[in-house]
Each structure stands twice: as C-alpha cells, then as structure tokens.
Amino acid sequence: MNKHGANGFAAQSQQALDDTALQSALGHAQSGFVKKRAQAIAMVDEFEQLKANAQAAKRQALANLAPLLEQFEQNLIRNGGEVHWAQTPQELNATVMAIARNANGRRIIKGKSMIGEECELNAALESAGFDVVESDLGEYIIQLAKEPPSHIIAPAIHKTRQQVAELFRQYHALGERGLDAISDLVGEARTVLREAFLTADIGITGANVLVAENGSIALVTNEGNGDLSATLPRVHIVVTSIEKVVASMEDASLILEVLARSATGQHMSAYTSFYSGPRQAQDPDGPDQFHVILLDNGRSEMLGTPFEPMLNCIKCGACLNHCPVYTNVGGHAYGWVYPGPMGSVLTPLLQGLDAALPLPNASTFCGRCEEVCPMGIPLPDLLRQLRAQQHEQKREPRRWRWGLTLYSRLSRHPRLFSWNLRLSRAMLRWLPQRAWPNQRTPIRPSGDTTFLEQWRTRAQNGLKNAAQNGPQQGK
C-alpha cells in the first residue's frame, strides 16, 4: 500500500496527474471498460430487471446473514471441507499459515483475491518463509513490480505494455527475445507460471459468491488461473468475506448475471466455477484438503446502519470505470486496496475515518457511480453521510470548517453577502494563476456584472414588458 495511505490522497493524486505514462494507460483502458459495458447491457432488454433481481437476492441474504453463514458452514463440512472464522486480517493470515504448515507446504500459487490484498496476505506469507506466486496475469505483473493493484478487476491497468516487457526482461532469465506484442507477454507469462502451478503445494483463491444451500463457492475468472490454483495443489484455501453468502444457487446465478456485464462487458466470464469441497473418491483431480476462511474485519458492524448497502457491493468495478476522479488519478492515489467511489466509502468504514480523511471528499458528486452500480448502492449519499460524520466529529480540515462558518454567517446578511461577492469577483479577476491550487484551472469572471445584478435586471425588464403589453388573452 502507499506509504502515506489514504490520507496522502492529495499528494498522490498530483503525482498521478504528472505521470504521463499513467495518464496514457488510464485513458486507453477506461474507455474500453465503459464501451464494452454499454454494449453488453444493450444486448439484453431486461437489464434493469436483472439488476432488481440481484439486489433483492443480496438484501434477503443480508437480512438473514447469520443463519445463512451457519448453513453454509454445515453444508461445507458435510462435503468434507473445513470453515475457519477470522475477525481481523491478522487472524486470517495466521490461519492460512497454520494450514500451510500443517500440510507441510512451502510453495503457494495464488489466484486473484481482493481479501488477500485487504489482509496483505502475500507480505505475511513471504515474511514467514513461504514462496508465493500470483497466477492472475495482472496480479503477477504488479507482484514483480512490488506494487499494490490499481483496479479491482484489472490490477495492472496502470502499466503500459512497454513497462510490462521491461519487468519480464528483469525477472525472467530467458535471454534475448521479442516482447513487442501483447501475445508475446501473455505467452511468456504462461510459460513461467506453468512450472509454478505444477510444483505448488498450496493453492489460494478468493470467492465471488458463497452458496448456503449446498456449501459451494463460486469463482469467476477470465484466464483459468483460478481453476488451476484450486485443483492442482494438494490443499485449496479460499479467503473470502462474510457478506458474499447468498441463500441458493438461483440467487448466485442472479448475481453472476450482472457481474460480468458490469465488470468486463461480457455476458459471462470465460471461467465460472463452483467448488464444494476436497476431491472425492470418484473425482479424477482436485485437492486433498479444502478450507474456507471467512473474514469479518468490521463488516458485521455495518449491518443495521445507514452503511449496510455497502455490503451489497460485488466488486465489479463499474463505479471506478465511470468516475471522473478515478479515471484521472488511478487507484494508487487512494492509498489502500479499494479505490474509486466504492473505496472512498469502504476505506473509512473498514480502517476508520482518521485513516481516510480526504476520501469522502474525493468526489464530484456527479452521480455516475450510483447510476452504473448493478447493486443500486447509493454511493453519493453514503459519501455525504461520511462527510457529515467528519463535520460532527470536527475531523474535516480546519480551513474547511472556517470557510463553512464564514459562509453561514454571510448568508444570513444579504447585503454583506452581496458586497463580498463583488469583492471576490474583483479578486478572481486579478488573481495570478500560480496562487490557485495547481489541481484546478483558475476561475475567471465571465462578465462585468454579478449573477444577482443580472437577475434583477432581467426581472425589471420582465415587469416592464408585462406592463407595456398588458394582460395576454388566452387562446
């Protein structure tokens, strides 16, 4: 994660805006996400109904979260698997290491997992002496670069093709070869990762959905790396969070109907797999052990609060792709694993307001995030509520509080307010550009009169015209 975390958002945003390679990468990638999503949605007539069905399934699951989690646990144990509960990231990491040590495992192949990122699982495993290799291409790239993901769907969205090629030449001892085309990079990654798949003792994946009625987990990928991580090693460990559970396979299918369309613009991801436990006697392959670790990390505290809708998030990334702030500064500026509008809500909730003071204000409130969210999460409203909490707890920047206090007092005295507007207008006209924050273009007055003066003039002209023309006869 970024050294300064979410509280370094302003400085990190400026660095992102000054990074020409990053700006180029963001521009190409974001336009592709938006276009593909629009095309995928246009091909179905009932997308609004699909959204409503998925939202209803998640609301029902959250209303019955505890019994559904217990049902999931019972059915998974019946299938031969084991369930572990973790209150904190530290507990999850300790549980993963204990399972690996008990299985005499050292080499770990890991599928893409946002919960793994949230818990900084890789760092914990490597510091304990385990050999960890990320199998998702994007995650593998940023693992080599020693960077956190910049996007929850496309972790290496901030990297150009040339930067990836340089990383591969640095870390792959394969001699001289051409890495000019994307197919060259993909082929080389496949060659390197194949050996890791075949020699790994432990496989770790995330989960997109947990199904209570049969103890299954659903895993969605586009590369097949999740399937290989889940089936080839002796031990499969699933790291996920408690809000992923739904009641039935039918409810799971409702979530999957909107997930791929919103995330990558597909009808369905290339690989959608369900796992229910370890290999059975009649199975040709699969792990000998199957473990699911359920992380809370503050999520249960969101139940029954105004922020409960955030637990409906399926991490599709649509809000990121359509956010004018994220698309200009990228994910690293947000300082933690969850960027964009959903991260601006989740990070303060999971890490505390003090650890993420700028994020509730990192929004233009254009409303596009709520408009494209398949789960109907009212992200702008949740950001406003976080801002209100900051104000009530006096945690917003002191200059903001002074400014709001001054505005409040001026607005109660119209003549004084009008005089200050005229003064401000004069100052803006002559303010040098260097005195304005370098994140913004200086505002210049558009004319010689203020808005209020123009309003009064138009009102007076309207009255004069009405008096001259007399009453209008209806037709």
* Structure tokens that stand for 412 in this block: 């109660």
Region of residue 130 (phi > 0: left; psi between -120 and 50: alpha; otherwise: beta): beta
Nearest one of 384, 363, 338 to 119, comparing CA atoms: 338
Tens digits of pLDDT across the chain (475 residues):
666 799 999 999 999 999 988 888 888 776 788 999 999 999 998 999 999 999 999 999 999 999 999 999 999 999 999 999 999 999 999 999 999 999 999 999 999 999 999 999 999 999 999 999 999 999 999 999 999 999 999 899 899 899 999 999 999 988 888 898 999 999 999 999 999 999 999 999 999 999 999 999 999 998 889 999 999 999 999 999 999 999 999 999 999 999 999 998 888 888 999 999 999 989 888 999 999 999 999 999 999 999 999 999 999 999 999 999 999 999 999 999 999 999 999 999 999 999 999 999 999 999 999 999 999 999 999 999 999 999 888 777 667 677 778 888 888 888 888 888 778 777 776 765 554 455 566 666 666 677 777 888 888 887 767 667 766 554 4
| Residue ranges of the chain assigned to CATH 3.40.50.10420 | 44-301
Helix (H, G, I), strand (E, B) or coil at 180: coil
Residue 158 to residue 151: CA distance in whole angstroms:
8
Task: State the number of CA atoms in the 13 A half-sphere of 373 facing the CB.
Answer: 24
Element holding 248 (H helix, E strand)? none
pTM (predicted TM-score): 0.86
In 64-181, alpha helices (H): 65-78, 89-102, 114-118, 121-127, 137-145, 161-171
Which whole-number Å values give the CA distances from 323 to 30, 221, 229, 290, in the listed order? 10, 24, 33, 38
**Superfamily of structural domain 44-301:** NagB/RpiA/CoA transferase-like (3.40.50.10420)
Q: How far apart are CA 353 and CA 345, in angstroms?
A: 10
* Euclidean distance between CA atoms 146 and 426, whole angstroms: 50
Those residues whose C-beta lies under 8 Å from the C-beta of residue 443, and which sit 6 or more positions away, are 428, 436
Asked if 253 contacts 195 with a C-beta cutoff of 8 angstroms, the reply is: no
DSSP string, 445-473: --SSS-HHHHHHHHHHHHHHHHHHH-PPP
d(CA 396, CA 387): 8
Q: Which residues contact 452 (CB under 8 A, 6 or more apart)?
A: 418, 421
Distance CA(124)–CA(131), nearest Å, equals 11
Residue 440, pLDDT score: 60
